[in-house]
Structure formats: structure tokens, C-alpha cells
Amino acid sequence: MFNLNSIIRPNILALKAYSSARDEYKGSEGIFLDANENPYGSLNRYPDPNQLTLKSMLAERSAVKKENVFIGNGSDELIDLAFRIFCIPGKDKAFTFSPTYGMYNVSAAINDVELIESPLDSEFQINLNLALATINKNKPKLIFICSPNNPTGNTLRISDIESILNSTNGIVIIDEAYIDFSNSPSWLTRLNKFPNLIILQTFSKARGLASARIGIGYSTPEIIALLNKAKPPYNVSQLNQKAAIQSLNNEAQYQTNLKLIIAGKKQLELAFRQIRSIKKIYPSEANFILIKIDNAELVYNSLCNMNIITRNRSAIIANTLRISIGSKEENEELINALKTL
Ligand SMILES: Cc1ncc(COP(=O)(O)O)c(C=O)c1O
């Protein structure tokens, strides 16, 4: 039986959150002499610590309440916060699949938490029996599931994820950084069904705001309250909140860019099929394609020498490169470069 209070780190359970000046006074008009700010300038005031405008907009479009929404300084901040809220360093464990997004491992190491990695099968799907047995044995406090998965690009079977959600007393974090590019539904529609689910999304990919560092966590109000308690008070700058709000107000631009990226993926897939050294194009529901290619290391270095930077994933999946979808022109340059090799 999932019991939230029993899996929270005792120091976080006992923590009294910092209350900022802007938490105590809610109005936006007045003479503000409460936060030791500078009265001059245009960026002189602290940002809204609760990001209420942005949260309300996200809640409305996702049919959830703003109490279900957390904004982080990128979703990487949420990954780290989850470790700090739930895992006692040197004692508790976390779980994920491999290969997957590298920050789960890095954040686990920073927090001195053992991350158990269960290998995905040859189709990069979950081996459910193995996963459930490992989870049952190790009782991880956190389970990270990246879908669509980075670097493989595929979504993970819904029924497998559901079995994991139902069979653990820990928190399941479904990382949907690439969900906008996928035909599979987001888990957001089922958020209310699971008391132990956190869904991560980000403005860094489909919304083109990687530089603004806006990550979103959707969960129960109880888990969102814990994230709020543990975050630095002003974790998202006013400039970045504004950039995210502008993006949500410009749906046409988002849709146009999304279509261009999906068309660019088709352009690359078609061209890759004509290149003999490319042995496999992994099906992708993300804004990148993983390819298996002869002499990946050499190809990677040759492309770098031509100022075309890809991601060499050969250390985790033999002879593979992960290639982000660029603009039409960038994709053409890449194709031409690959043809010369
Ligand atoms: C699966 C996944 N999650 C999270 C992130 C980080 O997102 P953010 O820019 O919101 O920190 C990335 C970035 O590449 C990613 O691939």
C-alpha cells in the first residue's frame, strides 16, 4: 500500500519551508520595502516564487488544478529535488532502465543514492518480469521511466508502466520530455488515478526554450507541496516565466515548429535509408533519431571536423549516433556530409 508520509526523508517531513516576502504579501501594487530589493531598474524585483500565471495556464490546458503543477529550473531540477525529498543518502535506492537519460544516474550519484539499472530488451522495451522482480527485491524509493526514451527514441509499453505503477510503494517518475513529438498519449490524462506518479515535461524541446530552463512536474497536490517546500524560493526567473507564458500564448508558432521538426525527421529517415553504412534507423517518437552506423566513432569525429556535432552513443549502444532533427538546411548539410564519408 502506497503511503506517502512513510517514504519521505524525515528531515524533509519535519522541514519548515522558507517563507519569502512575496509569499506573505500577495498583491502586486504597493511600495515594496520588504525584500531588500533595489528600487531602480526593470529586473530589480524578485520573481513570483509560485509562478502562478504560468501554472494556471498549464493547468487549464491539461485539465488539472494548479495545485497539480510544479515549475522547475528545467526538469533536471525536478530530478534532483526528487532524490533530495525521498532518498536518504547512502541508504535508499532508485531504479531505472538502461540505456536511458544520463541525468538520473548523475543526480543519484550526487545524492549518494544507488541507482539500479534494468536493461531494456532488444526492442528497447521493458522486460517486465525482470523489472518487477528487481523492484520487489530492492524496494527503490524512486523509479525513473523515460518515454519516449532518450537515446533510443521509442515509447515504452503503457501496460508495462502501469504494472510498475501498481506494484511499487515508491514514486514513479515518467519523463515525457519528448511527448509532443509522439503519437502516444501523455500520462497526464491518468494523473488522478495514481497517488505515486510524477510526470515530467519540459519547454526545452518542442517549445524551443532550452535556454530558458523551464521544466514541469505534474503530480498530486501532496507531492507538489513537497517539491515546493524543498525548492529554492525563487527557482525560476521572471524572464524565464515570461518566455514560457509567451510560448503558451503563441500556439501557432509551436504547431508550425512541431510540424517542421516532424517533416525534418521524415527527410532524415528517407535520406538515411540511402546511405549504405547506416545499418539501422531506430523508430523514433522524439526529435532525434538513433542510427547504427559502421565505424560510428570515426563518422562522429569526421562530422565534428566538418563542424557537424552529433551525439556518439556507442559507449552505451554499440556503433550508434543520436542525431537531433535540425532545420531543413542543417539536415541537408548533414546528409551531404554523411555521403562524403
Ligand atoms: C529525457 C530527458 N529529460 C529531461 C531532460 C532535461 O530537460 P530540461 O532542459 O527541462 O532540464 C532531457 C534533456 O535532454 C531529456 O532528454
User: Which atom belonging to ligand 1 lies closest to the Cα atom of 205?
Assistant: 9
The residue type at 232: P
Whether residue 277 contacts residue 320, with contact meaning beta carbons closer than 8 Å, is answered with no
pLDDT of residue 26: 74
Confidence of residue 299 (pLDDT cuts 50, 70, 90): very high
Residue 162, CA distances (Å) to 43, 173, 185 in order: 45, 12, 14
Q: What mean pLDDT comes out for the span 148-157? A: 98
How many residues are present in the chain?
341
Q: Which domains does the chain have, with CATH numbers?
A: 4-249 (3.40.640.10), 252-340 (3.90.1150.10)
pLDDT of residue 305: 98
Pick the range with the lowest mean pLDDT from 14-28, 73-87, 192-206. Answer: 14-28
| Greatest Cα pair distance in the chain | 69
pLDDT tens by residue, 2-60: 999 999 999 999 999 998 877 777 777 899 999 999 999 999 999 999 999 999 999 99
Decide if pLDDT at 304 tops 80: yes
Cell output for 302: 569526421
Mutate which of 97, 145, 150 for ligand 1? The one with the most ligand atoms within 8 Å of its CB, which is 150
Ligand 1: does its nearest atom lie under 6 Å from the Cβ of 146?
yes
Confidence of residue 1 (pLDDT cuts 50, 70, 90): confident
C-alpha to C-alpha distance for 192 and 163, rounded to whole angstroms: 16
pLDDT tens by residue, 110-144: 999 999 999 999 999 999 999 999 999 999 999 99
Residue 132, CA distances (Å) to 121, 144, 149, 240, 285 in order: 14, 14, 19, 40, 25
C-alpha to C-alpha distance for 197 and 80, rounded to whole angstroms: 16
pLDDT tens by residue, 15-31: 999 988 777 777 778 99
User: What does pTM read for this prediction?
Assistant: 0.97
Residue whose Cα lies nearest atom 3 of ligand 1: it is: 177
The residue type at 114: E
Q: What mean pLDDT comes out for the span 164-183? A: 98
Rounded to the nearest angstrom, the distance between the alpha carbon of 176 and the centre of ligand 1 is: 9
Ligand 1: does its nearest atom lie under 6 Å from the Cβ of 147?
no
pLDDT of residue 22: 76
pLDDT of residue 224: 98
Q: What mean pLDDT comes out for the span 165-170? A: 97
C-alpha to C-alpha distance for 254 and 259, rounded to whole angstroms: 9
Rounded to the nearest integer, the mean pLDDT of the chain is 97
End-to-end CA separation in angstroms for the chain: 57
Rounded to the nearest angstrom, the distance between the alpha carbon of 336 and the centre of ligand 1 is: 29
The bridge status of strand 93-98 relative to strand 114-119 is parallel
Q: pLDDT exceeding 70 applies to what percent of the chain?
A: 100
User: Which atom belonging to ligand 1 lies closest to the Cα atom of 203?
Assistant: 10
The bridge status of strand 114-119 relative to strand 142-146 is unpaired
Q: What mean pLDDT comes out for the span 293-309? A: 98
pLDDT tens by residue, 269-280: 999 999 999 999
